[in-house]
Amino acid sequence: MDTEVVPVVAEADRKEALAIRLQVFVAEQGVPVELELDELDEGAEHFLARMGGAPVGTVRMVRRDGVAVLGRLAVLSEARGTGLGAALVRAVEGRAREVGLGSVELHAQTAVRAFYERLGYVAFGVEDVEAGIPHVWMRRVL
């Protein structure tokens, strides 16, 4: 099936990305909507993954102190295990390189730490809890 990852530019794409996040984080994982939607969304660069033309994944990139911060990576259940999560991560890494950022950091749920490790990320700091879910900071130098 055809897959693609594209930058979000149109309002319709932004709404599709938001709907994916609400499904994964709010409906499936129980994250309060007021924590999922934050002040960083407006200034972030968002990406949307499609499979067979249907929106199935999203991620955002925030620039902070010369670092790309990857966040809100969400893939709908029917598209998990297809490589779209990795493609979304690579899209953020590619954009970070384009704008001259030397590394990508992310606050990973510990349940998916191994996913990021396979993509070259290394944990740093101590585990903490965000929205009731254990997380750890991870980094990849580009």
DSSP 44: S
Mean pLDDT across the chain:
96
Output the pLDDT for position 134.
Answer: 95
Cα torsion angle, 4, 34, 29, 93, sign: positive
CATH number, domain at 124?
A: 3.40.630.30
pLDDT for res 22: 97
Q: So what's the pLDDT on residue 118?
A: 97
- Position 61 scores a pLDDT of 98
Residue 116: predicted pLDDT? 97
Q: For residue 46, what is the enclosing H or E element? A: strand 45-51
The residue behind tokens 């690579």 is 90
The beta-strand segments (E) located in 52-87 are: 54-64, 67-75
Number of structural domains the chain divides into: 1
Parallel/antiparallel/unpaired status of strands 67-75 and 133-141: unpaired
Structural domain of 50: 3-141
Low-confidence ranges of the chain (pLDDT < 50): none
Which runs of consecutive H residues, i.e. helices, occur in 23-134? 33-36, 84-98, 113-118
Contact 79, 56 (CB under 8 A): yes
Q: What is the pLDDT of residue 45?
A: 98
Q: How many C-beta neighbours within 10 Å does residue 110 have?
A: 14
pTM of the entire structure? 0.95
Question: Tell me, what's the pLDDT at 104?
Answer: 98
Taking the C-alpha atoms of residue 112 and residue 85, their distance in angstroms, rounded to an integer, is 11
pLDDT of residue 41: 94
